[in-house]
Structure 1
Amino acid sequence: MTRVAFQLQIRAELLDEYLARHSPVWPEMLAEIAAAGRRNYTLFLGDHGTLIGYYETDDDAAAQAYLSASPVAARWEAEMSRFFHGLDGRPDQAATALTEVFHLEDQLAAAGGHAASDDDSRSGNDSESSAS
């Protein structure tokens, strides 16, 4: 699995409209994102219109190719392009990619450790304290 994060800058004067366009996103666009193989797709809004996006995929090149060929995605991206500063091309293809520098599960696995499951951490049990 590949984790992808990206950054875009929303034009301040269009921020409210941008947010309205994502509440909700067109159902056919949601279906195309899923069909492309992107999962856990999330957008975060920071100060001054900084937008951070994140998704997971098994094959990002295939996902990009799928969305590049999608008429629905082309229409969505054409409508979204005016919201961003400094883009040359479609927002989904021209966003600044971010470099991953830390991932907890990867480092725990490399160190031979493990992460407690959500159920264990909520109940106060972990594999060491519940072992007899």
Structure 2
Amino acid sequence: MARYCFCLQVKPERMAEYTERHRSVWPEMQAALSESGWHNYSLFLREDGLLIGYVEAGDLAEAQAAMARTEVNARWQAEMAGFFTGLGGRAPDEDPWLLTEVFHAG
């Protein structure tokens, strides 16, 4: 299983609400992530709004495509889009800024 890390920028004035929304992610969204091949998915938020995401998947593009086909993901992304800066009209889950792994000990 491959590891992927990405980053996005949450609007500083919406960080508290973003955090709160993720305390109660819809059960159907969590099920869709799992069924679409997203494993060990975590989000980390820095105090300036930098969001770091980590996910394991067999193939990230396939996992993203599987999620894109779900109705629950469309609803979730529509609600989350307003929390981010620099998306250029994309949904938050479309083409995230992937980071290159330079070291792993395991």
How far did residue 3 of structure 1 move? 0.5
Which residue is 1:99 aligned to? 100
Q: Secondary structure at the match of 1:15?
A: helix
Which residue is 1:82 aligned to? 82
Q: Which has the higher helix share?
A: 1
Q: Distance in 2 between matches of 1:58 and 1:95?
A: 17
In the superposition, the TM-score normalised over structure 1's length comes to: 0.76
Q: Distance in 2 between matches of 1:74 and 1:58?
A: 22
Tell me the C-alpha RMSD between the 2 structures. Answer: 0.9
Q: Distance in 1 between matches of 2:60 and 2:95?
A: 14
Identical-pair percentage: 50
Higher RCO (CA-CA < 8 Å; seq separation 6+): 2
In the superposition, the TM-score normalised over structure 2's length comes to: 0.94
When Rg is computed on C-alpha atoms for both structures, the one with the higher figure is 1
Q: Which has the higher strand share?
A: 2
Which residue is 2:31 aligned to? 31
Q: Which structure 2 segments of 5+ residues have no match? A: none
Q: Which runs of 4+ in 1 moved over 6 A?
A: none
Q: Which structure 1 segments of 5+ residues have no match? A: 106-132
Can you list the C-alpha shifts for 1:88-120, whole angstroms capped at 9, x where unaligned?
Answer: 311011321111111112xxxxxxxxxxxxxxx
Q: Distance in 1 between matches of 2:6 and 2:47?
A: 16
